[in-house]
Structure 1
């Protein structure tokens, strides 16, 4: 079932879409930024909010939130993650993208898909379709890009996100959902959550979190999540996780790639995707004035996506879309409680 609610007092084009399954799980999505604003589970102790987000558009545009912008729940594009110095070569020409994160490009630039008003259409009892046209030159990206993102909440307790895009010029592309999870409902941080990631390697980064093009084995390192462990077990060695894990999803096969569990709530979440990478971010730099529960480590982001800076790395695939191609990926979050 999908209900439509107002989300902005002065803008009738921005709505809140409430998806509820037959088991009582409720997902709320706004067509501003295609943001997943809320996801609640019906526990015996009461309704439990498990993602970071706000109840109104005003909060998403608040200066204290945008100051150290954590992109709560938004769909990110045209290019999620980082592009080194914002430079990309296409057909022998260098394109300069906005450098909105120091000297690098991050998450689509100053006004990415996270700040756009998407067209919304209910396409089934459990499916919400959001569409966007990103014009040629948008944030200096080439080509007219047409995008579709579908959210689906089914009765198997899965929240699925389907991504699709075409473009009439060769363009960098990397879409993701920047949702943060916290199964304690904000009562505690995420450091005691247990995490398992089916990955033998991460991308090596330089000190500015730009990939070097090399792969590092996780064995005997703080990045080894092949067996489930608490996030805080090895975090002192790295201070904060903000790394891309190499997934075993060759051939665009939908596969379970990660699982999160929190003992007190007895909530677990399986993540399945056909994306090649998973960016783990433990939220050390979340700090929103006036919102005590939105501080460091208040949320865990598991961003299924392509590799950061792929357009500049010869041995990374998935960095571009070409005319005539269809970019398609999906991610599913399955809940047990």
Structure 2
């Protein structure tokens, strides 16, 4: 087991960007940048000695700063904060005080605003084989969120090919917090469209969204809809081929306990990705809007070239009292764990 720091030679806001590789005893390894806490590589060493990278990204760090990439920005592999998904009208009220955020997606606030945690340099707190702890301190008023928020994220790679993400956050003023990781996965050995991937999600309800993909507060049963993944099926079986999936699901397991969020497998590679989380919601996105040139090995990533399982609290919950609260108060600690487990079938 090993943890290795790699200098990129690139500086952002006068801070050096580092790549940190975590390797387990099987030769599986993960590469993480301290910019955006981006998971750049998740390379599985299979039983026959083959290596397969299961996440989308770039061969070098500089591409994450490329203007063309940022113009059609998909948040490849980054941590999202302070608030995942959309906040209606980019506005919320805590204790009678209205907070107007950046309107980063039409009238709404998406993924924390114009410059969320995905575009911040995180400090490397510790590297203990094979784990990494990063910290970001978000100042009061950043993207118009109240309070100084300190976030710590620990990545740990186990010998069971589990990548564990442990989030913790504290604040000095009441604020809104909903963190997630925005990894783009493709389990096929040669990439391409993920429509043939087989997917299972133990979620009996999904969350209604308006025309801007913002959650309204209504829960809808998945039964007899395209959103029913209670039994495994290919992504493409029921999807609209022009739309794919971009939907939040409420998981059936007990809230706050580590439960299965999804299982996805590829017959081509024989790999299965299981996602476990303590969060109550998983947002499934099949990359409809992705159009990225110069990906790894010169690949052009197009629509439906990956899937995301973004574990989080209910989107827009800060404006929907019937949803679990996403208000963090001084003296309390935000905690959330997500595990990505890879198995070879």
Q: TM-score, normalised by structure 1?
A: 0.97
Task: Quote the Cα distance in structure 1 between the aligned partners of 2:325 and 2:342.
Answer: 29
Q: 2:113 — aligned with what?
A: 109
CA contact (8 A) 1:100 1:110 kept: yes
User: Where in structure 2 are the equivalents of 1:40-59 lying within 5 Å?
Assistant: 40-43=43-46, 44=48, 46-59=50-63
Structure 1 position 307 matched with structure 2 position 314:
yes
Q: 1:248 — aligned with what?
A: 252
Q: Secondary structure at the match of 2:155?
A: strand
Task: Quote the Cα distance in structure 2 between the aligned partners of 1:10 and 1:333.
Answer: 30
Task: Quote the Cα distance in structure 1 between the aligned partners of 2:99 and 2:179.
Answer: 19
Structure 1 position 228 matched with structure 2 position 236:
no
Q: 1:19 — aligned with what?
A: 22
**Greater alpha carbon shift after TM alignment, 20-29 vs 55-64:** 55-64
User: Where in structure 2 are the equivalents of 1:118-137 lying within 5 Å?
Assistant: 118-137=122-141
Task: Quote the Cα distance in structure 2 between the aligned partners of 1:134 and 1:280.
Answer: 27
Q: CA deviation at 1:238?
A: 7.7
CA contact (8 A) 1:151 1:159 kept: yes
Task: Quote the Cα distance in structure 1 between the aligned partners of 2:280 and 2:273.
Answer: 19
Q: CA deviation at 1:188?
A: 1.9
Q: 1:334 — aligned with what?
A: 341
Task: Quote the Cα distance in structure 1 between the aligned partners of 2:150 and 2:59.
Answer: 28
Task: Quote the Cα distance in structure 2 between the aligned partners of 1:10 and 1:97.
Answer: 28
Q: 1:318 — aligned with what?
A: 325
Q: 2:100 — aligned with what?
A: 96
Q: 1:296 — aligned with what?
A: 303
Q: CA deviation at 1:24?
A: 1.2
CA contact (8 A) 2:196 2:266 kept: yes
User: Where in structure 2 are the equivalents of 1:198-277 lying within 5 Å?
Assistant: 198-236=202-240, 239-277=243-281
- The runs of at least 4 consecutive aligned structure 1 residues that moved more than 6 Å come to none
Task: Quote the Cα distance in structure 1 between the aligned partners of 2:276 and 2:235.
Answer: 20
Q: CA deviation at 1:57?
A: 2.4
Give the unaligned 5+ runs of structure 2.
none
Q: CA deviation at 1:125?
A: 1.0
CA contact (8 A) 2:10 2:17 kept: no
CA contact (8 A) 2:274 2:340 kept: yes
Question: Deviation string for 1:206-248 (max 9, x for gaps)?
Answer: 1111112110000010000000100000012782211110013
Q: 1:6 — aligned with what?
A: 7
RMSD over aligned Cα, in angstroms? 1.5
